[in-house]
Structure 1
Amino acid sequence: MQIISRLDRVMADRKMSVNELSERIDISPVNISRIRTGRVKAIRFSTLMKLCDELDCQPGDLFEFTRDDTPVHRRRTRSATEKKPSED
């Protein structure tokens, strides 16, 4: 399982540099770069909130969760004997 940073994409969409974002949210350019490249093990909620506020996005826009070759679980389907819920 992995969390992939999409911060670089969001910043590119907003045409914002590391230095500009760093100044706006008062976080060092080194830390912004580490988040962009995925070289962090953790991120504070306060940092995440600053990023989302300044970039006008949601946390899910900044990060993506992926499974490593884990089979996708299929949704349970109704058998032929089960009835559909009635609509009122």
Structure 2
Amino acid sequence: MPIVINLDVELAKRKMSVTDLATAIDLAVANVSILKNGRAKAIRFTTLDAICEALGCQPGDILSYVPDE
């Protein structure tokens, strides 16, 4: 899949756990874990907004496009 989710990298930079982020954005830990592990098929803009606010980052820090070869 050409869209890569870098949530694990952003969490590591801030020494933040999945549980910490889930609590901060009021989302289930399982759902944040699905995002972090790159298994999500979609993400709501409200969720992306909440993640960016909690981590102090831009959407481009979390999502990137890597074309298939």
TM-score range, shorter chain: over 0.9
Aligned residues, how many?
Answer: 69
Q: Which has the higher helix share?
A: 2
User: What is the TM-score when the length of structure 1 is the normalising length?
Assistant: 0.76
1: CA distance, partners of 2:39 / 2:61? 18
Q: Which stretches in structure 2 are left out of the alignment for 5+ residues?
A: none
Task: Map 1:1-88 to 2 at 5 A.
Answer: 2-69=2-69
Shift of 1:2: 1.1
- Larger of the two Rg values belongs to structure: 1
Q: Which stretches in structure 1 are left out of the alignment for 5+ residues?
A: 70-88
- Greater than 6 Å deviation, 4+ residue runs: none
Pick 1 or 2: higher relative contact order, CA cutoff 8 A, min separation 6.
2
Q: For the aligned residues, what is the CA RMSD? A: 0.8
